[in-house]
Amino acid sequence: MASVEERVVALVTGGAGGLGSAICRKLADANMVVIVGYNRSADSAHQLAKSLAGEGHSARRAPVTESAQLTALAAGIRKDYGRCDVLVNCAGITRFVRHADLEALDDELIDKILATNVRGAFALVRAFRPMLEGSPLPGGGVVVNVSSAAGTLAMGSNVIYCASKAALDNMTKSLARALAPAIRVISVSPALVDTEFVKAMDRGWHDEQVARTPLGRLATPEEIAAAVAAAITTLTFATGTILLVDGGRSLG
């Protein structure tokens, strides 16, 4: 097995969540060194880092709305690892608000969603650009933005969440153009993923989402993690791509 110094280093923000943890495990299984980025879930993130296959993993605070902290995070990773080849922007927030209930979607929630889901992803790319540009990976360093089919369908947990994912996909294309050829940027765009959070919701609502999906089920976190891994290791001539992993949900 390659030493830690020779292995691909990947930072996954939101790494302690249901989807983020599956991505971390998949990348570790692919022999990458994984840095589990977290905001408030320190205990879960450190436990996850210890449980990953292989050596050299760590958990580090990555508050995506605090640009100065992200700059410090990048400096710390450069000092300790000497490189960062992959950035997975998986941190994101939302809250269920009926699309017609405009009053419930207040300014504070709107600002928080956009700051986390859009500005946060941009700030991370900005902070990690120098290391990503120096990656020896085939096709260059890689940014994977974990988006959502809500960005295309305009159907999701609330209006601004949908708008934030549409903005993230648009930003993926703009950054892919701006950062080529040294860095590839790809959106992995699932529909509803069957995490523990989703499984705990109303069963009737859950079954309705399944019925709306042509493949007749929801995605597993592991399937989305496999798509992220493929974007990094296999799709080396893809950039600016919105990779739908939605079971056909976007077919209407």
Number of H helices, E strands in the chain: 10, 7
Let me know: does 183 contact 142? Beta carbons within 8 Å.
yes
CA pair distance 181, 175, nearest whole angstrom: 11
Going by the DSSP 8-state scheme, the letter that residue 185 receives in this structure is E
Contact 72, 128 (CB under 8 A): no
Rounded CA gap, 252 and 250, in Å? 5
Structure tokens at 154: 């305009």
Q: Is 161 a catalytic residue?
A: yes
* 52 HSE (CA, 13 A, CB side): 31
DSSP class per residue in 63-128: -TT-HHHHHHHHHHHHHHHS---EEEE---------TT-TTTS-HHHHHHHHIIIIIHHHHHHHHH
Q: Which listed residue (161, 167, 229, 239) is catalytic?
A: 161
Q: Give the active site residues.
A: 161
